[in-house]
Structure 1
Amino acid sequence: MNDLIHAVAALLLPPTGAFPLLLLAWWLRHRRRWLSGALFATGLIAVWIGSTELGALWLQDRLLGPQQAVQVERLKDVPPKETMIVVLGGGARKLMPEYGGAQLKALSIERLRYGIWLSRQTGIPLMFTGGTPRDSSDERMTEAALAERTAAQEFGFTLAAKEDRATDTRENAEFTAELLRGQPIRRVVLVTHDVHMRRSLRAFREALPPEVEVVPAPLGLALPGFEWRDLLPSQEGISRARYLGYEWLGYVGGH
């Protein structure tokens, strides 16, 4: 049943989510010409929005609101020992043939790299949260363990802590709050991608005590302005639109 739900959700995400509108327009072409034309035009616009970088960014701004990069200097107004950078895992693969073993997915590596950069700029310790990938039967192969290994081997960096039980965003927040309980933490700097940030902020603000400030540190932000190529379908546009659709469905669903 779970696989069926994921399959249906995958079809409803951009740009394929517009296909039902196009099919309905085709079915109504002889019965309701004006309605058929309106549905067809709406479907084409939806396909364009779900296939282009500009369309995906426009939709993201309206669904999730604008976001800005964290101000590094602002993070220094609280002592490092009272702050924790928390990097959210973005997935792992149990086997990458080119490496001959398990590795973090690109989203996780991007977040880890940015978290390490922030830690080195501010002196704030860093923890990574991520448990066993859902498609893995090896409970030892957690995202957090892979992040610890990657940080040490590829960045020469040591994590301050790791949370290795969470399998979704809400568990990231709940289990992180458990680990931080009893520590003199006044601020959590939350590192994840911009599209994922709104859902993550809600989860962490609900899980952490009200006196702990949660500061968003999004990555993947788009540059201001655009060029004509952003109007064309692209892999980047499709990826952002699908990620946005997934995150928005998760947010409205309360996950």
Structure 2
Amino acid sequence: MTSAISLTVFWHQLLGALLLPPFSYLLPLLLALACRRRWPACGRLLLAGSLLLAWLLSLPITAITLNGWLERYPPAALAQVADTQAIVVLSGGKRPAPEYAANVLSADTAGRLRYAAWLARRTGLPLLLTGGAPLGGEPEAQVMARTLREDYGLQPRWVESGSDTTLDNARLSASLLKPAGVGRITLVTQAWHMRRAVPFFTAQGLQVVAAPTGFTRYDGSGLLLWIPQGRAMQETHQALRELLGLAYYTVRSFIAR
């Protein structure tokens, strides 16, 4: 099964590209070059600001701080999970893997699925995998289901493969769970994503136990947190993107009133 890129996701990606790094610090750099002859002082100020922003956005301490605002839910207690009726796992991307001649899970999705399998084995709860193909190709939930069977020896109860957004994940998952009499779920996704995901599922009339994974943590401390790292750039970008998503849905909800 294949599909084309979702138009909604395309516009989200384009908006993110314009508002988030690296464009957010490349733009003042381009403006600095444009100003260097006519307004040299302004050009130097923009250049310094661009370099400072690039440095700040590549620091582990920045990644920890930004993601800390998002990671509001603590790790789930196993007893809380066992008191629910199903484990719902949100997808977070896939990628082509030529060595397998197939699609495999992104690092985020793989981490979520591993944690969900760990919970399922300790509670005996059924699994719902949710994720479509927002960028086209094979639905992410199908890649998750294949990985769950082949790598963990577990079979999902439900596979929802039509969603393009987190809001879709909640709506379409609820349409599968409610006819089965499931009203209390454990929700598995990235710690930074949980703050946005939980309200979507509760709005569908589901009781949610948050089971976050992938917390933003670094080995070392002190000066090491002020040394730029490629990983920190990626984690800062994801935090800013998630904060932008929260702002988008807040404005959307306000307008819809």
TM tier, smaller: 0.7 to 0.9
Q: Which residue of 2 aligns with 1:72?
A: 78
* Contact 1:54/1:226, CA 8 A, preserved across alignment: no
Q: Which runs of 5+ in 2 are unaligned?
A: 1-6, 253-257
* Contact 1:29/1:36, CA 8 A, preserved across alignment: no
With over 3 angstroms needed to count, the CA separation of the structure-2 counterparts of 1:151 and 1:35, relative to structure 1, is: same
Are 1:87 and 2:82 matched, yes or no?
Answer: no
Percent identity, please: 32
Q: Which residue of 2 aligns with 1:60?
A: 67
Q: Which runs of 5+ in 1 are unaligned?
A: none
Aligned ranges for residues 27-176 of structure 1 at < 5 Å? 27=35, 31=39, 33=41, 37=45, 42-62=49-69, 64=70, 66-76=72-82, 78=83, 82-93=84-95, 95-136=96-137, 141-176=138-173
Alpha-carbon distance in structure 2 between the residues aligned to 1:224 and 1:238 = 13
The counterpart of 1:213, out of the listed 192, 207, 222, is 207
Alpha-carbon distance in structure 1 between the residues aligned to 2:219 and 2:101 = 42
Identify the range of structure 1 (7-16 vs 213-222) with the bigger mean alpha-carbon deviation.
7-16
What do residues 20-49 of structure 1 show as CA deviations (whole Å, max 9, x unaligned)?
344446638975958964x55554443223
Q: Which residue of 1 aligns with 2:180?
A: 183
1:61 is matched by which residue type in structure 2? G
* Contact 1:16/1:47, CA 8 A, preserved across alignment: no
With over 3 angstroms needed to count, the CA separation of the structure-2 counterparts of 1:118 and 1:7, relative to structure 1, is: same
The size of the alignment, in residue pairs, is: 241
Alpha-carbon distance in structure 2 between the residues aligned to 1:112 and 1:217 = 12
Q: Which residue of 2 aligns with 1:250?
A: 245
- Per the TM alignment, residue 172 of structure 1 is displaced from its structure 2 partner at its CA by 0.5
Alpha-carbon distance in structure 2 between the residues aligned to 1:49 and 1:251 = 22
* Contact 1:92/1:133, CA 8 A, preserved across alignment: no
Alpha-carbon distance in structure 2 between the residues aligned to 1:8 and 1:144 = 26
Give the aligned CA root-mean-square deviation in angstroms: 2.9
What do residues 72-99 of structure 1 show as CA deviations (whole Å, max 9, x unaligned)?
23323x2xxx521100011223x42111
TM-score, with structure 2 as normaliser = 0.80
Q: Which residue of 1 aligns with 2:3?
A: none
* Contact 2:86/2:127, CA 8 A, preserved across alignment: yes
The counterpart of 1:13, out of the listed 20, 23, 28, is 20
- Per the TM alignment, residue 15 of structure 1 is displaced from its structure 2 partner at its CA by 4.3
Report the secondary structure of 2:179's partner residue: coil
What do residues 189-208 of structure 1 show as CA deviations (whole Å, max 9, x unaligned)?
111112222221222122x2
- Per the TM alignment, residue 147 of structure 1 is displaced from its structure 2 partner at its CA by 1.5
- Per the TM alignment, residue 231 of structure 1 is displaced from its structure 2 partner at its CA by 1.6
Alpha-carbon distance in structure 2 between the residues aligned to 1:204 and 1:24 = 43
* Contact 2:131/2:162, CA 8 A, preserved across alignment: yes
- Per the TM alignment, residue 13 of structure 1 is displaced from its structure 2 partner at its CA by 1.6
With over 3 angstroms needed to count, the CA separation of the structure-2 counterparts of 1:216 and 1:30, relative to structure 1, is: farther
Are 1:237 and 2:239 matched, yes or no?
Answer: no
With over 3 angstroms needed to count, the CA separation of the structure-2 counterparts of 1:251 and 1:155, relative to structure 1, is: same
